[in-house]
Amino acid sequence: MGVSFSQSQTPTPDLQTSYPIFLYIFPPSDPKKKPKVHFLKLTLYTFTINFHQSNLSFSIPNLTMYKSPTVFHCFITIIIIINSFVLLSRGVSATKHEDIGIYELNNGHFSVKLTNWGATIVSVFLPDKNGKVEDVVLGYDNIDTYKNDSTYFGAIVGRVANRIGGAKFTLNGTSYKLHANEKGNILHGGTPGFSDVVWKVKKYEKDCESPCITFTYHSFDGEQGFPGDLKVMVTYSLVGNYKLRVKMEAKSLNKATPVNLAQHTYWNLGGHNSGDVLSQKIKIFGSHITPTDDELIPTGKIVSVKGTPYDFLKPYTIKSKIGELPDGYDINYVLDGEKGKKMKVVAVVWDDKSGRSMKLTTDAPGVQFYTGNYVKDVKGKGGCVYEAHAGLCLETQGFPDAVNHRNFPSQIVNPGEIYKHNMLFSFSIKDRKDLGSI
């Protein structure tokens, strides 16, 4: 016999507590016998209850029926005493509740709005060549919609971004089964991943030359099946006139674990409500890709883009080759340039109509180029309805499913080590310019 409880509560970040559970087992006396002193058996169970965001649950495994020598049939009366459980279920926690809010960074040239729900970029406002300011990222008007989002608009995804085939891997002789959320695989860290939790605001500086905000999150051991406690930190900062820096770090506290964080903003340089991005030009500084199977799991091969629809070594409009693919682009590019943690150019995107361009650099080894293929009838900001290809993602990252391919760069972070991942978005507003020279 098992006993289990589950209750929804107000999101409470970073709370993992052990509580003693006392089970008093009272076998009743045989009704055919005279009353006498009853046999009493006391069993003490202690285990961990994880209060993680919106789910509160625990279970008591393998309770068995007890029989008294003088009783033909017996049932168990269980009294569960959990100090603080009632308080926690009513939203009172052992840690301070972290409010969910919107935070703006503005340096007088452009502005970025963010929320600590998923450490998400909510909007980026940029002028066009005529001085008209528009929001160039897809998103929603309110936080509640982000909580029900399935597109990962603007969020930090992890603990391991992209896909892990079969939702499993082996590390240091131990096999780990993860919480699958897509066709038996795990995508973007599972459900909920880092995109669907409340992050703490560690630092917020807005009245300075380089405004910035830092979000932190404590991912607990066993979250979505991943091993070890992990402290995660993401800092967004405005540097220079039109530059947005994203700095991601994670520290493993007690176990080796894979880490692969990614920033999942959907960009449309023509404006979030301007239609699709197919006429925008892109140049990708990656001469190889990691091809995938039908479930978008890498095969383990690394192949050249030459002669394929994935060749953007020279600038082309996105629509020029997208028709050669079933749905659109959703592939990891192996970035050119020096290996290691030096910053290198990832891609340049340019919108002819608005004159806006975006150059991305990173120290990650790969980038997922995704053209919003599965966006359909999504009601976004200002009532705008987003459809397929309404935005594009450039998710710098480690290679997908690297934990299952030894020839891919390792994503394992050992206890005490620090994972680092940096991105720099540089925007330009020009009348006309050849994309290749940007």
**What pLDDT is recorded for position 431?**
64
Distance CA 333, CA 348 (A): 14
Angle at 9 between CA 6 and CA 14, to 5 degrees: 100
147, 116 Cβ separation under 8 angstroms: no
Across the range 12-23, mean pLDDT stands at: 34
This prediction has a pTM of 0.79
201, 103 Cβ separation under 8 angstroms: yes
Distance CA 419, CA 424 (A): 17
Report pLDDT digits (tens) over 181-216: 999 999 999 999 999 999 999 999 999 999 999 999
Q: Indicate the pLDDT class of residue 366, thresholds 50, 70 and 90.
A: very high
Identify the CA nearest to 122 among candidates 143, 106, 148, 108.
143
What is the number of alpha carbons within 13 Å of residue 359 lying toward its C-beta?
Answer: 14
User: Does 109 participate in catalysis according to the annotation?
Assistant: no
**What pLDDT is recorded for position 63?**
36
Distance CA 154, CA 195 (A): 9
**What pLDDT is recorded for position 79?**
33
**What pLDDT is recorded for position 86?**
33
Across the range 281-310, mean pLDDT stands at: 98
Instruction: Please state, for a pLDDT cut of 70, what percent of the chain lies above it.
Output: 76
34, 70 Cβ separation under 8 angstroms: no
Distance CA 4, CA 60 (A): 6
Please report the DSSP string for 277-320 in residue order.
STTSEEEE--SEE--B-TTS-B-S--EE-TTSTT--SS-EETHH
Report pLDDT digits (tens) over 130-157: 999 999 999 999 999 999 999 999 999 9
User: Does 264 participate in catalysis according to the annotation?
Assistant: yes
Report pLDDT digits (tens) over 212-238: 999 999 999 999 999 999 999 999 999
Residue 315 has pLDDT above 80, yes or no: yes
- What is the sign of the dihedral through the CA atoms of 298, 299, 305 and 309? negative
Residue type at 161?
A
Residues in the chain: 438
Report pLDDT digits (tens) over 60-79: 333 333 334 333 333 333 33
Token duo for residue 185: 């695989």
Selecting among 52, 264, 272, 288, the annotated active-site residue is: 264
Residue 176 has pLDDT above 60, yes or no: yes
Q: Work out the burial of residue 2: count CB atoms within 10 Å of its CB; fewer than 13 is exposed, 13-18 middle, 19 or more buried.
A: exposed
- 45-59, 80-94, 260-274 — which one is most confidently predicted on average? 260-274
Radius of gyration of the chain (CA): 26
Residue type at 24?
Y
Residue 87 has φ and ψ, to the nearest 5°, of -60, -45
Distance CA 137, CA 267 (A): 5
Distance CA 357, CA 349 (A): 6
Instruction: Please state, for a pLDDT cut of 90, what percent of the chain lies above it.
Output: 73
386 in helix, strand or coil? strand
Selecting among 98, 223, 249, 395, the annotated active-site residue is: 395
Q: Indicate the pLDDT class of residue 340, thresholds 50, 70 and 90.
A: confident
**What pLDDT is recorded for position 68?**
40
Distance CA 393, CA 387 (A): 14
Choose the weakest-confidence range: 97-111, 308-322, 399-413: 97-111
158, 258 Cβ separation under 8 angstroms: no
Distance CA 354, CA 29 (A): 84
Report pLDDT digits (tens) over 317-327: 999 999 999 99
Residue 39 has pLDDT above 70, yes or no: no
Q: Indicate the pLDDT class of residue 97, thresholds 50, 70 and 90.
A: low
Average pLDDT, the chain: 83
16 in helix, strand or coil? strand
H or E stretch covering 17: strand 15-25
